[in-house]
Structure 1
Amino acid sequence: MLAKEDAIILSRWLSDPRVLEYYEGRDRPHDLDAVRQHFFNTSSEEEVTRCIIQYEDKPIGYIQYYHVAADEREVYGYDSFKGKIYGMDQFIGEPEYWNRGIGTKLIVSMVQQLTLVEKADKIVMDPRVHNERAIRVYEKCGFVKAALLPKHEYHEGAYHDCWVMEYQA
């Protein structure tokens, strides 16, 4: 679980243009106040589990998971689906840990947590279509492209298409 002292490292990661190119946007760096507002001052209705990713006892990234709300289910095309759907978002904030297979291990372990412990029927993510490295990792972990969401995410001054990527438990 995310602790208040994690704000410092999140701020460092979310000020790094290499990370921001994929998460939040290089035009939206997060100082300490922005991190506290975005990650710690959330409504009690918002049930998001936020965690720091550890690798060999070193914090290297961030992951969150949550029940997909009714409005998002509709956007994703799951408005008539009655099962449990979880969404997840993540990034590795230490670029020296990119391209080492850690993202694959992370996704596999989170899929296990969500399907075995949380009893998810589906898990979804919505990467931008040009984030090919992330999409390859997700596909390697059993996710499939379920739908295209045109102009779904505002990132660095423009709206971008995203994939709904789905894991079926």
Structure 2
Amino acid sequence: MFIYKNESITIRQLEASDKSLLVNWLNDPLVLTYYEGRDRPHDEELVEEHFYQVDGAMRCIVAYKDVPIGYIQFYELEEEERFEYGYAGNGEKIFGTDQFIGVPSYWNQGIGKQIVTTMLAYFMHVARADRVVMDPQQWNVRAIRCYERCGFVKVKELPQHEMHEGELRDCWLMSYSRDIEAALITVNEQGIG
């Protein structure tokens, strides 16, 4: 099932036949450096456990020009995360998302930005989200720059937020909201920037 598509990016729901893609990607030490950790290579059983268990997240494969290159998952924030992130009781429809490009030869070409902006279009115009949040690890400067280029802003530090390679790592809470969307549209329409 297709979730969203533009000229070069296709986001489709994860299928059973995608297990081998995930196993391949999550056994590459370069990919594991940024997603899951080099101490957590995934076999088929671990992929099944982490990516195919029903938990409310929408899990998807990302294709670039019809070639599967990555993974994205998204979900509406539950109360515990809303509270932790400072959004408890605000009434907004908020999605969280995580993603990675699993084929390193597609890195550093602007494709990550295309994936994120494609998903933002889906969140804002199809899912009618008020806000989208991410929590990248602070040391992952390349990902943070990509998200900032897409309009995300750093909201607050999340100390010792995520376990990665045997260590609790500090993360940033980053947010993209309808207000940012409106400002970006205005800037683009006026040719500013």
Match of 1:63 in 2: 72
Residue type of the alignment partner of 1:99: N
RMSD, aligned CA: 0.7
- 5+ residue gaps in structure 1? none
1:93 aligns with 2:102: yes
Tell me the equivalent position of 1:3. Answer: 15
- Distance in 2 (alpha carbons) for counterparts of 1:58 and 1:29: 23
> 1:106 is paired with a residue of what secondary structure?
helix
Give the CA deviation at 1:97: 0.1
* Aligned equivalents of 1:83, 1:57: Cα separation in 2: 34
Choose the corresponding residue for 1:32, options 15, 21, 44: 44
Partner of 1:52: 61
Deviating beyond 6 angstroms after TM superposition, the runs of 4 or more aligned structure 1 residues are: none
- For 1:79, the equivalent position in structure 2 comes to 88
Give how far 1:155 is off.
0.5
Which amino acid counterpart does residue 131 of structure 1 have in structure 2?
A: N
How far apart in 2 are the matches of 1:161 and 1:129?
Answer: 6
List aligned pairs for 1:10-21, cutoff 5 A.
Answer: 10-21=22-33
* Percent sequence identity over aligned pairs: 52
Q: Which has the larger radius of gyration?
A: 2
- Give the superposition deviation at 1:6: 0.2
Structure 2 counterpart of 1:117: 126
Q: Does 1:157 align with 2:169?
A: no
How many residues are paired up? Answer: 166
Q: Could you state the TM-score of these two structures normalised by the residue count of structure 1?
A: 0.96
Structure 2, unaligned runs of 5 or more: 1-12, 179-193
Deviation at residue 48 of structure 1 after TM alignment: 1.0
Using the alignment, how far apart are the partners of 1:166 and 1:57 within structure 2?
A: 29
Could you tell me which residue of structure 2 aligns to residue 166 of structure 1?
A: 175
SS of equivalent residue, structure 1 residue 21:
helix
Aligned-partner SS, 1:74: helix
Q: Aligned equivalents of 1:136 and 1:163: distance in 2?
A: 12
Q: Please, what TM-score do these two structures have when normalized by structure 2? A: 0.84
Whole-angstrom CA distance in 1 between matches of 2:53 and 2:81: 21
Per-residue deviation, 1:93? 0.1
For 1:80 and 1:160, the matched residues in 2 are separated by: 28
